Amino acid sequence: MKILISSCLLGEDVRYDGANSSIAFNPKFPFSSKELFMDILCENEIYSFCPEVAGGLGIPRNPAEIVNNNKPFIVKDENGTDVTINFLLGAKKALDICKEENIKVALLKANSPSCGNIKIYDGTFSHNLVDGQGLTARLLKDNEIEVFNEEQLRELSKFIKTNK
Ligand code: SF4
């Protein structure tokens, strides 16, 4: 199965701070999760994608949060610069790839203003998580693409098995 995966989860240094969120090398994940992740990588066709870089933002970049999570969306970085258009562009490019390649499922980084599928930071740069979705996760879900995060590898694996 084709799977779109957040580049940072694959170990690519694309995060705002120039680092990555590698599942394989993160000590917080038990070996069983890493093993499952590696099985998913080996048994499927992986499309690595970072919406924020695709949307024109650099590495490193200032951290950004969603200030208004309903249309009109507003995303600002910690200096108050409006980066909404970059986030919208990245989301659109993610959807374009999914449509072009017939990708029906994505594994996206939790809590990100682009990739988060359940929680996002509240827009005050206070480390407070609230219910909500990043702009890319939201657009993919709105277009019937299933989105899982790195805490949901078992659910993703089950989805793959039942939709082969
Ligand atoms: S936008 Fe998504 S893929 Fe890119 S660094 Fe942030 S969480 Fe990772």
CB of 112 within 6 A of ligand 1: the answer is yes
Give 77-89 pLDDT, tens digit per residue: 999 999 999 999 9
Q: What is the mean pLDDT of residues 82-106?
A: 98
CB of 6 within 6 A of ligand 1: the answer is yes
Give 48-85 pLDDT, tens digit per residue: 999 999 999 999 999 999 999 999 999 999 999 999 99
How many whole angstroms from 43 Cα to the centroid of ligand 1?
23
Confidence of residue 154 (pLDDT cuts 50, 70, 90): very high
Question: Which string of DSSP letters, residue by residue, matches 42-57?
Answer: HHSEEEEE-HHHHTT-
How many whole angstroms from 12 Cα to the centroid of ligand 1?
10
Q: For helices 84-101 and 135-142, what crossing angle results, to 10°? A: 40
CA distances for 65 relative to 31, 45, 136, 158, angstroms: 32, 31, 13, 31
> Which residues touch 126 (CB under 8 Å, ≥6 apart)?
none
User: What ranges do the domains of the chain cover?
Assistant: 2-162
Q: Name the DSSP letter for residue 106.
A: E
Q: Name the DSSP letter for residue 160.
A: H
Cα distance between residue 98 and residue 95, in whole Å: 5
> Which residues touch 110 (CB under 8 Å, ≥6 apart)?
116, 117, 118, 119, 149, 150, 151
Return the pLDDT at 164: 81
Cα distance between residue 31 and residue 42, in whole Å: 16
